[in-house]
Structure 1
Amino acid sequence: MTPPENPENPDHPPVVVVMGVAGTGKTTIGPLVAERLGVPYAEGDDFHPAANIAKMSAGVPLDDADRAPWLDAIGRWAHGRAGLGGVVSSSALKRAYRDRLRAAAPGAVFLHLTGDRALVERRMAERKGHFMPTALLDSQFAALQPLGADEAGVAVDVAGTPEQIAERAVAALRRADALAPAP
């Protein structure tokens, strides 16, 4: 992995996009990573248009056309955080989606939360009040294209407590030189 440049402000981390299939803990781990980095967190689900949420709530997977305005909204947020740092969640399952986010925020780094399907399914089943049904998990895994060797980012397993996962994530990002040194 080639670490991204952050020419606007080398003392701050780039925008970290927490990615992975539904149920890997993006909404839980993202804020913990942001807290450890001292930057703001944005919940990717908040960028979805109402039509996307209705479609997923009905058990219908989103297609690329559905995801385009959502990815563009996340990209605008990430672009606005260039040089300041931030953490945002986005499934970013396909390389094309990550390319779209990188086009908006060239210094973005991806934190891919990975996990055993059984663990992820169990965690999804335990969630309360989330619009994404467990029935869509297969479509998420089918669409997933893991980070390529040429993509700035790291993969971190989601076994363990949220605190353990967040610590491993920040350590992995630092080992990959994806973050500015700790102050």
Structure 2
Amino acid sequence: MTITARLQLDPPCEADLEDLHRIYSDARTWTHLPSGRFANLATTRDALAGWLADWREHGLGAWVARERGVVVGHGGCAVRQGAFWNLGYRFAPEAQGRGLATELARAAVDAAREHRPELPVVAYLLENNPASAAVAEKVGLSLRHRGPDAGNPDPSAVRLVFADRALSETELVATMR
């Protein structure tokens, strides 16, 4: 468990399934990528299995964020492609706009740097999501790449890659998968 000023951050568990589904199935949490919305509980269950695997395999992954005991979000850093820490998060609409994402992201970056400092911390996001870009910058990440978002159903979508250091070509390519 990690405690911030307003959040209790815990590794996810099976009992969090319904709360996570409530957040990930809400279209309001996917305004920048509507196709990413979790349409059914099975999708959330599969994602939860992956999040649990991150913790087992790497000793760190995305947390369930609770504010005064209520699940308000999910996020953190998880190793991707064995090449970098991926910083990501999603918060319930009623919890957005209050700095909770920045609070969680700071804790996640610190945990990743402590756990495996040799891996860069990366946040990749869509250009039409300026709030996430602002969070990345607030936690010390800088824009390292701007280009097409491969695999996005919107062919005009642009991916931004922020990182805590310069990325090698191999690391950058890994963020495009």
**Same fold per superposition (TM over 0.5):** no
Which structure is higher in helix share? 1
Given the two structures, how large is their TM-score scaled by the length of structure 2? Answer: 0.34
Given the two structures, how large is their TM-score scaled by the length of structure 1? Answer: 0.33
